[in-house]
Amino acid sequence: MARSESRSITQKKKRYSYYDYSLLFLTLFLVCFGLVMIYSTSSFNAQRMFGDSTHFVKQQGLAVVLGIAAMLVISKIDYRIFLKKVPILKIRFVTLIYIGAVSLQIAVLIFGREVKGAKRWIDLGFISFQPSDLSKIATILFVAYVVNLAPRRLDKITGFFRIAVYMAPLLGLIAKENLSTAIVIAGILVSICFVASRKKLYFIIVGILCVAVGSLYVFGVGYRSERVDVWRNVETHPKGYQILQGLFAIASGGIFGTGLGQSMQKLGFIPEAHNDMIFTIICEELGLFGAIAVILLFVLLLWRLFIIAINAPDLFGGLIAVGIMAHIAIQVILNIAVVSNSIPSTGIPLPFISYGGTSVSVLLAEIGVALSVSNQIRTER
């Protein structure tokens, strides 16, 4: 009798698709908060330069709308579609994405628009974008795919170097004009491989090699080595002005800040405060309390991605979630470290908050892929 009752209870259990609404709402909150802070930090300069205090927030708002639409659509598509072959070309979709990313990086070196001495933008007239942002999601998908093919090869350092060779063309092309993005992409690559490998010790060697190569690359180029000098002598170096003003903004915020919209440093003291330096204005206007709240929001976001990674239905999905988590974590850490002068200056935006249409759109698309992985998780009730 007891057995028949337990069998009937088991039969009544149904399998449901899971969808991480916590991740969705955290993302939307961060994006909306970013729009508020972009308006707060840019309204003065936008009015002075364009006669419209909402100029920058309207541009960012358009990118956010497009990004959210892409996120919601992608979240309802099975992420395993990236493993399928394109009918005409007979290659996997994920490989095509990687080839497309490499092609765009070659195109930007040839046809790209030069900004501040570096070619990073492709201008199509009606829209301009940074291919390096698209390369981040291409890296996540392609590395996850290659590791998924033979994960046990990563138990040896030769397996890691095999994947590094695959990624070398893309990394080299990006590093030529944009070292900061190359660092982020290298971090994504190492993070995915580290999680998939059962042997962790050789990653110490990988870390030493990465630092050595990075140091040679930095000190081999004048303007990059100069950033180290600025970092070491921020108070006396002529080019330490922006970081120094950012530190003044952080210090003047106190515990609860001067109030939203009441920053003084954004009034021309910090150039383009709505970009990479936006965290300093958050500290000034919302204080230590606001800064910690933002960091905690990112911690919660990363926690939800971690939950998706460990519950993913297969290795490919889990590694995609790990890659997205690594991407966001690396950018948050680097951005806050730069504005607090903990490391030399490099152009890394604060995810979802800093001004940048391509960046926020790509990040929202990545969250859509993570939600797609979560949607394939099956739970019993």
Q: Does 4 reside within a domain? A: no
Tell me the chain's radius of gyration from C-alpha atoms. Answer: 22
Average pLDDT over the chain reads 86
Question: What's the pLDDT tens digit per position in 334-371?
Answer: 999 999 888 887 878 999 999 988 899 999 999 999 99
Q: What percent of the chain has pLDDT over 90?
A: 50
Question: What's the pLDDT tens digit per position in 85-129?
Answer: 888 878 899 999 999 999 999 988 888 777 666 677 787 766 777
Range of the domain at 115: 16-380
pLDDT at 212 over 60: yes
Overall domain count for the chain: 1
Q: For the ranges 85-94, 160-169, 321-330, 333-342, which has the lowest average pLDDT?
A: 85-94
Q: Does 357 reside within a domain? A: yes
Mean pLDDT of 310-339: 94
Q: Does 45 reside within a domain? A: yes
Q: For the ranges 7-16, 59-68, 98-107, which has the lowest average pLDDT?
A: 7-16
Q: Does 200 reside within a domain? A: yes
Mean pLDDT of 247-267: 87
Q: For the ranges 7-21, 67-81, 253-267, 289-303, which has the lowest average pLDDT?
A: 7-21
Q: Does 299 reside within a domain? A: yes
**What was the pLDDT predicted at 244?**
84
Q: Does 92 reside within a domain? A: yes
pLDDT at 175 over 80: yes
**What was the pLDDT predicted at 235?**
76
Q: Does 7 reside within a domain? A: no
Rounded to two decimals, the pTM is: 0.91
